């Protein structure tokens, strides 16, 4: 059974000067108990999509259901059973950790005690600071508190809007481990992120760009769909190298990737031809090695087409 079914969902923001199609005919399904990632750069429409699914925003077209309830008609039912953690920390800064948690438990008509098991793993880490005001917590602790508050009513579906943006690498890793444990408890999780490397941690992902979903599937299937050869190229003059790669007829696309440049090869050209071309262009020391495409490569290619 699907936990979230999105069908042709659209949202348009109209101002006097222009209309912005924030979300355009987006469709996807999320299965129960799945950890589903929506990956896309800033402005891709991730937040608008989440706000529609959490009944904060009315869609302009299409439909969607969350746990079988329609997001327009049955919004009251949805509010009972989803948890939402917005990208920006939005708990009461002048209430303490404990008071925030109690407050959100109460307005969902439950108590912290009744659902303690679900937040225990996360909450024990901030429990020593439970008398501290939320505004005085560090970034990582704020995030844990926000997650605890979003979980306290035992939601069926959890929406996390860019939870790892602006969080350090260690905390990000920790956060994803927490998500995995939550998944084991049977909660369906939708998470949006601008970080491509986090895609591999999801069961399935949807790549989103300019309001449209470019591709959706398991990270492996998306990578499998990528059928060009990718060569990692490095030389002394990296900037010149990128320009030469872009200028060459044999590459479909090329972009910098860590300490290498990635060159997406056209099918009819080979590694040798590239080597010859680059040496000719004044890169005698050029180092070329074949590499496995990852989500980022797929994303770059999908954006091109």
Partner 1 sequence: MRTLQFLLQKEFRQIFRDPAILRVIFVVPVLQLLLLPWAADYEVRNIKLTIVDHDHSDYARRLISKVTASGYFQLDQYTDSYNKALKEIEVDKADVVVEIPINFEKNLVRENEATLFLAINAINGVKAGLASSYLQSIIRDFNNQVRTEWIQIPRFSPEINIDVRSSNWFNPLMNYKFFMVPGILVMLVTIVGSFLTSLNIVKEKEIGTIEQINVTPVKKYHFILGKLIPFWILGLFILTIGLFIAWLLYGIVPVGSLFTIYVFAAVYLLAVLGFGLLISTFSNSQQQAMLVTFFLFMIFILLGGLYTPIDSMPVWAQWFTKFNPVTYFIEVMRLVILKGSTLSDILPHISIILIFAFVLNTWAVINYKKRA
Q: Which residues bind partner 1 (CB under 8 A)?
A: 51, 54-58, 75-76, 79-80, 82, 84, 86, 88-95, 99, 103-104, 106-109, 133, 149
Residue 75 near residue 58, CB atoms below 8 Å? no
Residue 212 near residue 25, CB atoms below 8 Å? yes
Cβ closest to partner 1, residue 161 vs residue 174: 161
- Minimum distance between the CB of residue 230 and partner 1, rounded to whole angstroms? 41
- Minimum distance between the CB of residue 91 and partner 1, rounded to whole angstroms? 7
- Minimum distance between the CB of residue 150 and partner 1, rounded to whole angstroms? 9
Query: Dihedral of the CA atoms 295, 301, 302, 305 (nearest 10)?
Result: 180
Residue 50 near residue 192, CB atoms below 8 Å? yes
Cβ closest to partner 1, residue 76 vs residue 268: 76
Residue 170: φ, ψ to 5°: -65, -45
Residue 28: φ, ψ to 5°: -165, 165
- Minimum distance between the CB of residue 96 and partner 1, rounded to whole angstroms? 9
- Minimum distance between the CB of residue 183 and partner 1, rounded to whole angstroms? 21
Half-sphere exposure at residue 91, Cβ-oriented, CA atoms within 13 angstroms: 28
Cβ closest to partner 1, residue 14 vs residue 247: 14
- Minimum distance between the CB of residue 224 and partner 1, rounded to whole angstroms? 37
Cβ closest to partner 1, residue 10 vs residue 301: 10
| Alpha carbon distance, N-terminus to C-terminus of the chain | 33
Cβ closest to partner 1, residue 158 vs residue 245: 158
What element of type H or E holds 2?
strand 2-14
Cβ closest to partner 1, residue 70 vs residue 271: 70
| Distance (Å) of CA 14 to CA 11, 19, 21 | 10, 4, 8
CA distance 135 to 265: 51
């Amino acid at each position: 059974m699907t936990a979230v079914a999105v069908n042709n969902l659209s949202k348009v923001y109209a101002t006097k000067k222009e209309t912005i199609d924030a979300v355009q005919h987006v469709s996807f399904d999320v299965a129960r108990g799945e950890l589903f990632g929506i990956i896309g750069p800033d402005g891709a429409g991730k937040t608008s999509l989440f706000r529609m699914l959490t009944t904060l925003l009315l869609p302009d077209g299409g439909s969607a259901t969350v746990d079988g309830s329609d997001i327009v008609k049955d919004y009251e039912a949805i509010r009972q059973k989803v948890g939402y953690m917005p990208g920006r920390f939005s708990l009461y800064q002048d209430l303490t950790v404990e008071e925030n948690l109690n407050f959100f438990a109460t307005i969902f008509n439950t108590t912290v005690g009744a659902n303690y098991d679900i937040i225990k793993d996360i909450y024990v880490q901030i429990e020593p600071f439970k008398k501290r005001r939320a505004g005085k917590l560090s970034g990582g602790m704020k995030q844990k508190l926000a997650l605890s508050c979003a979980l306290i009513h035992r939601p069926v579906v959890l929406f996390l809007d860019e939870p790892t943006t602006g969080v350090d690498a260690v905390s990000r890793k920790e956060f994803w481990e927490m998500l995995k444990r939550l998944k084991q408890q049977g909660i369906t999780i939708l998470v949006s992120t601008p970080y491509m490397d986090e895609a591999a941690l999801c069961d399935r992902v949807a790549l989103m760009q300019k309001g449209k979903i470019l591709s959706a599937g398991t990270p492996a299937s998306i990578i499998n769909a990528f059928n060009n050869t990718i060569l990692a190229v490095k030389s002394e003059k990296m900037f010149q190298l990128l320009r030469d790669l872009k200028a060459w007829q044999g590459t479909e696309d090329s972009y910098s990737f860590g300490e290498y440049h990635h060159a997406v090869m056209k099918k009819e050209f080979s590694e040798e031809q590239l080597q010859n071309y680059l040496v000719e262009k004044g890169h005698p020391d050029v180092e070329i090695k074949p590499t496995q495409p990852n989500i980022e490569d797929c994303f770059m290619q999908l954006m091109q087409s």
